[in-house]
Structure 1
Amino acid sequence: MNESNTNFFELVYQVVRLIPRGRVCTYGAIASYLGSKGSARMVGWAMNAAHQYNDIPAHRVVNRKGLLTGKAHFGDPGLMQRLLEGEGIEVSGDQVVDFEERFWDPGKNLQL
């Protein structure tokens, strides 16, 4: 991984650490907030690499439709859902129920 990827990943981690308990954010919203609107996939790669850290709530990052597309990267495919449900987020069919109400937008909730 090159230095620019490492720096971008660290910025992603800083944002993800701020997602409140009981809320979710999307790969694209994080990328957009960081000024890299087309880099949602790169945010996904950062989330895949985040599992080596204990303080990054990667389970709170879902795709633009609220789907748990990253669940396979948790080792146990049911772990992401259990972590979300432990925070009071209902999941059905690998999708966050009431996604729009649970969505946390860093562009509206944080100041760069």
Structure 2
Amino acid sequence: MKKIINEELIYEILSVVEEIPRGKVATYGQIARLIGRDKNARLVGKVLSRAEFYGKYPCHRVVNYAGRLAPGWKEQRFLLLDEGVFFKNENHVDMKKSQWDC
């Protein structure tokens, strides 16, 4: 049976995002695993794309599995640089140096 996005799930995802330390990043898949939904990385991305409606969360600290920044969100790079996150190139975080070890 398919699970539905509800307020409880949204806040579960956002509470994990809130725990990502300054200067570190997590992946969508990593967050999905932490909430017990291993195969729902896209669901995490969908929730984070609407996070502004639920308060202020450090969603800029979430990247894809390869460290790629969210397409079309130019501010994300500057927010991460400001926190001391390491980059491999213009659009990819250095995951070896900056991934949250949770």
TM score, norm. by length of structure 1:
0.79
Please identify which structure carries the higher helix content. 1
Q: Tell me which residue corresponds to 1:94.
A: 91
Question: Across the two proteins, how many residue pairs are aligned to each other?
Answer: 99
Q: Tell me which residue corresponds to 2:74.
A: 78
- Shift in CA distance, 4/52, structure 1 to aligned 2, threshold 3 Å: closer
Q: Tell me which residue corresponds to 2:29.
A: 28
Shift of 1:37: 0.3
SS in 2 for 1:17: helix
Q: Tell me which residue corresponds to 2:12.
A: 11
CA distance in structure 2 between the partners assigned to 1:27 and 1:87 by the alignment: 19
Shift of 1:55: 2.6
Report the RMSD for the aligned CA atoms in angstroms.
1.9
CA distance in structure 2 between the partners assigned to 1:5 and 1:94 by the alignment: 32
CA distance in structure 2 between the partners assigned to 1:23 and 1:6 by the alignment: 26
Shift of 1:16: 0.3
CA distance in structure 1 between the partners assigned to 2:37 and 2:4 by the alignment: 16
Shift of 1:33: 1.0
TM score, norm. by length of structure 2:
0.86
CA contact (8 A) 2:28 2:63 kept: yes
CA distance in structure 2 between the partners assigned to 1:36 and 1:90 by the alignment: 28
Q: Provide structure 1 residue ranges, at least 5 long, that are not aligned to the other structure.
A: none
- Shift in CA distance, 4/46, structure 1 to aligned 2, threshold 3 Å: closer
Shift of 1:30: 0.6
